[in-house]
Each structure stands twice: as structure tokens, then as C-alpha cells.
Structure 1
């Protein structure tokens, strides 16, 4: 039996990051992956879906530009689209594969061993690896569980990944569906609704159990996204209860009921389930290691990545926290640093920058207005429309806004930001850094930003809070807003 300082179960983004961080410490690492290095982060998750989004955005942008002109709409064949997705996937896969292979040369072989197969515990330190009929057992002084997740399916529904699909089945499409129903109006469901409506080849239906999509975000965000979807022809079934979803072979029939007692039956060509993901923990035999799972049995219990067994760590999707590639990697690095380093600070989730690939793009960090109201947090809020940002005007992309939330005192400590519009994910990082370092907002006001850039909008937001803005909110009331929010009541801040 081989001994390792670190055994990593899962070769997705989190597991790979854990293995590489172990090498940084000069530790001997065993990385175990049952399928493909890179996991869902490459093949049917973040990279592939966001490549689809990027292509669809370009198609939609071209057609928006020529709208109203006597020109035929621009389009790509599905084969062309998937060829580009395949190129992106291959490029990233090739990087991972080559990197891994070169790390296993004689020079590095003492540090990294890569094993293909299914991993399961046989004791707190022993992990069995099964590939075909071959069995191998390795001993880990420290073990990181990063086995990822898979799409959740609906009980009683025939999910064949051809007619009724999860995100895993998108690669099975041979052409644009003529019609598509998406079950679930969360981030992923809305992203796929955006993608297929952008291409303009598919009639998209989106089933929303709530009265608005993205219910965890502020109303102004969900409104602008849903309005853009509907302009692109998406039908959103609000307050809808899915009574039946039936696979008819080459079609899907679904039945909806509404609070007023009405019902609706619709047939479409394809259905896409977007109702969350399930951590891959069933085959790990966690009971053999004494590792506890949540009461609902949905994820592994951990305290700052450490499970109830001190030398076993849970990171990424199996931890049940923020299921994002970037957070999985951060958690994995943190776990290894806890195992071999001298790190004392707990991992913070307060300044996590996220992005939703919608139309328009939505980026977020920290808390939003809705959370301030729910938790009775008095704040000041500043909001600036994209139409007053020079770069947005130059790009002809003036739909969107910046909204920054600060404490309702003279310090005006940044608590959160929402960016909706072109380059939103790039702009949000400025506020994420300010929050991480605890810097005062005047740092942004005094920084010389590149011009023209979307980030200048952040600077103007801060200037509004400091009463130094170029445009005055009292004049451009439809474009600028600056107000306090106390006990759920908005009060305009007096500004010249």
C-alpha cells in the first residue's frame, strides 16, 4: 500500500486545485479521478455553457445592430456552434492533460501520482480505487473530498438526455430545438433561456414557481432580465406549478396549474431540467471513515472545510455551500493550507464575486437591498444607469446599472454591489477588493480610471455618495439615485 501526504478524491476544478496546492508544499499527492480531469467545470458545466453564451451573445449583438435595416438576420448552424464549444473544451482539456502528464515525469513523480478509477473509503485513512476489475488501496495522512456533483432529476420523469435533458444532455443536441421548455428559473435555467433565445431559432418557455425569476435578487434586477427575455420571445410561466412532464419520444408534453385554478397543457420539442445539482457522495462509503453528512443527506458537514474527522476535508460542491468553480478552488486551496500550512483565518464568503450569464450580464458581491430589508440593516444606496457611462454609450450597450450599498454612517463601509450590464463581471472586482481590504470608498473616488471604461461608473457612484459627482441625481432623477434605506423605507439623500 502506497503512503501519501495527501489523497485527493476528484479531479475537477476543486480537486485539481487541492492537488496542485499540495505540490506547492512539497508533499506527496495522489489525485484520483473516475472519469475526466477537469470534471463538469470543463465538459458540461462552466466552460461549455459559457462558451455557448459567448457565441449566442455575439449572434444577438450582430442582429441587434442590423435591426431595422433591410438585411437578413445573421445565424450560425448548430454544428458551427458546437464546433466552437468543442474547440474551447479541447483547449482546456489539453492544458489539464499536458500539465498533468508533465508533472508525472521522473523529476516530479515523487510528488504526484494520478490514479484513474472510482474512490471509496475503507477506513479513515485508506481509500480503495476501483477501475474495471482492478483494485488498489492507498493510504492518506490527509484526504480532500472533491467529488463534485451531478444535475438533479425529477422523480417519475424519463430523463433520457435526448428529449428530456439536464445540462449533461446539451451536447447530445444535433440542431437547435424548435421549442424548448426549461424547468427552473434559477441562475442556470435563466442562463440557458438567454442562450437559446439569443440564437433566435428556438421558442423558449421558462417555468417559474415564484412571481418573478431570480427571486433571491432585487426586483430591479429580475425585472430587467425578464423584460429582455420576453423581448427575445421567451414565455415565462410565473407562479406556475408543474403537474406533469411527459416524454413522448420526439416531443414533451407538460401541464401547469396556477393559483387562480387555471391549467395549461403545452407540447414542445425538448425539455431541459434546471432544478439544482446533487453532490456525488453516495459511493464514497463515508461511513467507513466516520465522516458525517447533513441531516437531509445532501452534502458533507464541515467546519471551515474540515469534516468531523480532523484529517479529512470537504470542498467544492460536496460541501453544500456556494457551488461555483472559483469557490471550489478557493476552498480546496484553503483546506490544503490548513493541513500543511500555518493558516489561521477562516475562509470568508462575504466578498465572493459572482456572475450570472444573462442578458444583460449580472455580477454580484456582498449583500443586496432585499437582504438589508429582511435583516433590518440601515444602509445608503447609490444607483447609476449605464446610459450615463461613456464606454456603454460607445459600445451602444446602455441597458443596465450599478448599485452600491454602504453602511448608513459617515464611514460608509461597502457592504455589497450589483452590476447589471456589459463588462459587469470585470467591474465588480473593484468593489470585491475594497471589501476584502476594508478600504474606504474615497480610494475609488481618487483613483485615475482608464477612459472610457465601464469601471468609471463605479467611481461616479462613489462620487455621488461623497457629493462630488459629475452628474447630479437631483437633475438626472431617472438615471441616478442616492438614498438611505432604513426599516424598509427609502429616503432620498440631499444632494446638490
Structure 2
């Protein structure tokens, strides 16, 4: 093959793209990955990883505030947003360098520049100098990711109106911050800025925070946020925004038509993300899109154009890093001829890393009942778990929804300490079609948070031991 000719070319080096490239190289394909920014995409550079580093800083502040209860006396707690951001960048940079190492280890060619489809089996890559070079490939995988959305009357200006990147990079915590949207991004940044002393107001159109999660989990987070002094406004509509020299004035109305205004030094737009599908040659190549603006793909991530695939955020929701990574592997396995390649979209875990943490997999209780399933719900509170009590983290519970017919896990929902780690047990259980009896009979060590998983399973069977 010529130097610019490959078996597989991946456009985008985020958690979907770089994983797809590594998997392709491991299977013996000559592989290239085109990326105009840093390796790692949004997730490693300005998303998942640095955000979680800031959340760890926020958790540290909260823990120190309760140190006296644990027999530790500390002086005045002073926060330093600039240092927290600096640390988050260091964590991010370390992981980005790690991807570079993995590319070299697996002999993957990194082509710096913007990739565009340019005809059958061709990608045109334009570098920062404006020069374009052609690259040939038998298979092209599009993994360009997504960007923050904004509202027509509240455009992100990176000054008064922030996107998630602005919120992540700010070296000073504003005195007041209004967050539009109470999904995972909104709730995580609310946690961070409240810990650093900002008066936070959350504005959410749905009737609760984290509207995609189980209603009972949402209630725990909202109660915790209100207790911490946050102003949580749910079931409201943002009507207009006036940007002034000193801040932003938001006008909102509730379900009854009552109007109120919110003054904030900064506003964070956290209303979701849109796929990055512009200027990558999709129209020219004839790639079909969905009615929501994503690239249309089949179970093996194939588009309607032969030899062109799409994975990750551009291929549709949920817009999650781990979903993109698994799609990358499934896509390459399909190219390799595995007839079983694909993703079980009903078993993708959702995680929100605010405090208390929220994690889930499968159906919510409302969804299960709406589908007419014959279910039994088991809940085990952290107040009855020894390990949670010793850590002083007792807000929340483990909730399991059991299908009575086969005793399988229809859905699992955790709100509280290390929820995002514990949910993996249910993901594996669902993958293996485990029954609730098996979840309980698998011995869980004591004292651990994982015991609550077994107890919730028992509760769904009607005979929990410790409540």
C-alpha cells in the first residue's frame, strides 16, 4: 500500500474514534486516525475527565466541611478555583499523552487535520496550514462527536453566557451562576460551583432535575441541592434573556403562568449537545441522516454508503463516551466479519457524577409500569448500610425493578455514594440475564456498599434482611 492508503481510516479521535482505531490495528488492519484537535476528543480534553477532576475538588471541599465530625479539626477552608482547574488540566493532559503512546504501540498513523469524505474510499484532510492531502481507505469510520447546543435568544458568547468548556476553564468562581438545564452536565457543574462558593440557580423545563433518571433518584438530588443552598426552579420555561455589562437577567414562567426574573453574573447553557456533522462531506457523499440530525446507521454502524460507518455521538443518542467506545469496537468487529457484532442499547448505563451520585441501567419504574410489565420494586436505603454510615454518606438508596415472570433485572437505579461504580454489577447481571435470586446468592463482602445491591435484590423478592 502507498503511504496514504489504509485499510481503515477513522475521522475523529474521541473515545469512539481512538478505541475503534486501536481495535482495528489489533485485528491487523493498516489504520489511520484523522484528528484536527488533541487526541481524546471532547471527553478527555474538555469533557468527562477534567469535569470529574473538578467534581473531586468539590467533594474534597464538602468532606473538609464535615471533618470535625470525624475527629479532625481543620482551620479556615479556602478554595482556589484556579488550582482546581490547573489540576484538572494536568489529569487530562496525562491521559491524552497516553493515547499518543497507544497509537505508537499499535502502529496507528495519526493524521493531523480536518477530515472530509471526498468520494468512494477517499478522505481529504486539511491541515492547519490550509493544505489538503488525499487519503485512501477501504473503510471510513466517522467519529466526529458533538458540540454544546444553545438557544436562539441565549447564544453562547463565552463571556456572560458559557458552554461547558467555559465553565470548566474559568479560574474564578462567579458570585452568581444560573444554569439552564438540569441534566447530567447542569447538575455536575451546579455541584462544582456551589462547593466553590457560587450562589447557583438551576432552571429546568421538566418537572424535576435529572429528568431522564428514575423520579425517586431525582428527588434525592434535588433535596440535597436545596439543602446546600442552591435555588432549584423546575417546571419553568425560559422566556427571554437580557445580557448587560454586569450580568444576565433571565425571565422565566412557571406552569401557572407566573413570571419571575433571575439575575446572574454568568449563565451556563446546559441544554444538551448537537452532533458535529457540518463540513465533513456528508451531503456530497450522499450519507443519509435521521430526522434529529444524526447520521443514520444500522446495527453494525453502517451508513447507507458502502464503506462508510458512523459511531459515537454523531450516530445518535445516548451521547455517552462508553457507548461510543463500544460502538467503535462493534463497528470494527463488523468490518472484520463478526456476525454477532453490535450493541445492546437496552443495557447502557447512565452516570451523573454530582454528589450524591446517580447511576442507572434499564427501565425506570414509571417506564416499566407504562409498558404494562408485571414488576416488583425493591429499595434499600443507605441509612441501613454499615459502610455508608461509617463514611457519613447516607443520602439515597439502591432501587431494583424485578420482572416477576423470570425474576430478571428490568432496571436498576442507585443514588448515593459511589453509585457510578456500583451500577456495573447490574450491567453485568443484565448482560448475563441474571435473576434476582442469583444477585443475592452471590456473596457480597462485609462491610461494603455492594451489600446494598444484594439487599435491594432481596427487597424486590419481598424478604430483605436489614430493613
Q: State the TM-score, normalizing by the size of structure 2.
A: 0.94
Match of 1:307 among 303, 306, 322: 303
| Aligned pairs for 1:75-224 within 5 A | 75-103=78-106, 108=107, 112-131=108-127, 132-199=129-196, 201-224=197-220
How far apart, in 2, do the equivalents of 1:142 and 1:57 lie? 45
How far apart, in 2, do the equivalents of 1:46 and 1:383 lie? 29
How far apart, in 2, do the equivalents of 1:314 and 1:90 lie? 27
Q: Which moved more, 1:432-441 or 1:156-165?
A: 156-165
| Structure 1 residue 102 displacement after superposition | 5.0
How far apart, in 1, do the equivalents of 2:240 and 2:76 lie? 36
SS at match of 2:294: coil
Match of 1:61 among 37, 42, 63: 63
Aligned to 1:480: none
Match of 2:50 among 48, 51, 56: 48
Aligned to 2:260: 264
| Aligned pairs for 1:378-389 within 5 A | 378-389=374-385
Mapped pair 1:31 → 2:33: yes
Cα distance change, pair 324–451 in 1 and its aligned pair in 2 (3 A): same
Match of 2:421 among 412, 419, 426: 426
Match of 1:283 among 279, 291, 295: 279
| Structure 1 residue 101 displacement after superposition | 4.2
Aligned to 1:332: 328
| Structure 1 residue 113 displacement after superposition | 1.7
The superposition leaves residues 15-56 of structure 1 with CA deviations (integer Å, 9 ceiling, x where unpaired) of 000100110111111110011111111121101111111110
Cα distance change, pair 171–416 in 1 and its aligned pair in 2 (3 A): closer
How far apart, in 2, do the equivalents of 1:322 and 1:467 lie? 33
Match of 1:19 among 5, 18, 21: 21
Structure possessing the higher radius of gyration over alpha carbons:
1
| Structure 1 residue 214 displacement after superposition | 2.0
SS at match of 1:309: coil
How far apart, in 2, do the equivalents of 1:421 and 1:246 lie? 37
How far apart, in 1, do the equivalents of 2:458 and 2:151 lie? 50
| Structure 1 residue 371 displacement after superposition | 0.4
Aligned to 2:409: 414
CA contact (8 A) 1:161 1:172 kept: no
How far apart, in 1, do the equivalents of 2:69 and 2:173 lie? 22
CA contact (8 A) 1:315 1:332 kept: yes
What is the alpha-carbon root mean square deviation over aligned residues? Answer: 2.0
SS at match of 1:373: helix
Cα distance change, pair 265–467 in 1 and its aligned pair in 2 (3 A): closer
How far apart, in 2, do the equivalents of 1:345 and 1:12 lie? 21
Aligned to 1:7: 9
The superposition leaves residues 187-209 of structure 1 with CA deviations (integer Å, 9 ceiling, x where unpaired) of 2111111221133x100011111
Mapped pair 1:245 → 2:245: no
Cα distance change, pair 365–171 in 1 and its aligned pair in 2 (3 A): closer
SS at match of 1:43: helix
CA contact (8 A) 1:33 1:115 kept: yes
CA contact (8 A) 1:218 1:368 kept: yes
| Structure 1 residue 403 displacement after superposition | 0.7
SS at match of 1:328: helix
Cα distance change, pair 278–26 in 1 and its aligned pair in 2 (3 A): same
Match of 1:437 among 432, 437, 447: 432
How far apart, in 2, do the equivalents of 1:232 and 1:66 lie? 18
| Structure 1 residue 73 displacement after superposition | 5.0
Q: Which moved more, 1:204-213 or 1:72-81?
A: 72-81
The superposition leaves residues 117-140 of structure 1 with CA deviations (integer Å, 9 ceiling, x where unpaired) of 111112131110011221111111
CA contact (8 A) 1:124 1:288 kept: no
| Structure 1 residue 164 displacement after superposition | 1.0
Mapped pair 1:458 → 2:418: no
How far apart, in 2, do the equivalents of 1:405 and 1:239 lie? 27
Cα distance change, pair 38–400 in 1 and its aligned pair in 2 (3 A): same
Cα distance change, pair 345–336 in 1 and its aligned pair in 2 (3 A): closer
How far apart, in 1, do the equivalents of 2:73 and 2:445 lie? 37
CA contact (8 A) 2:45 2:93 kept: no
How far apart, in 1, do the equivalents of 2:362 and 2:153 lie? 38
How far apart, in 2, do the equivalents of 1:234 and 1:413 lie? 38
Mapped pair 1:402 → 2:405: no
The superposition leaves residues 230-264 of structure 1 with CA deviations (integer Å, 9 ceiling, x where unpaired) of 11111112222112223323412211122333222
Unpaired segments ≥5 residues, structure 2: none
How far apart, in 1, do the equivalents of 2:318 and 2:259 lie? 36
The superposition leaves residues 322-342 of structure 1 with CA deviations (integer Å, 9 ceiling, x where unpaired) of 111111000011001000132
Cα distance change, pair 31–182 in 1 and its aligned pair in 2 (3 A): same
Unpaired segments ≥5 residues, structure 1: 477-496
Cα distance change, pair 213–464 in 1 and its aligned pair in 2 (3 A): closer
How far apart, in 1, do the equivalents of 2:118 and 2:135 lie? 10
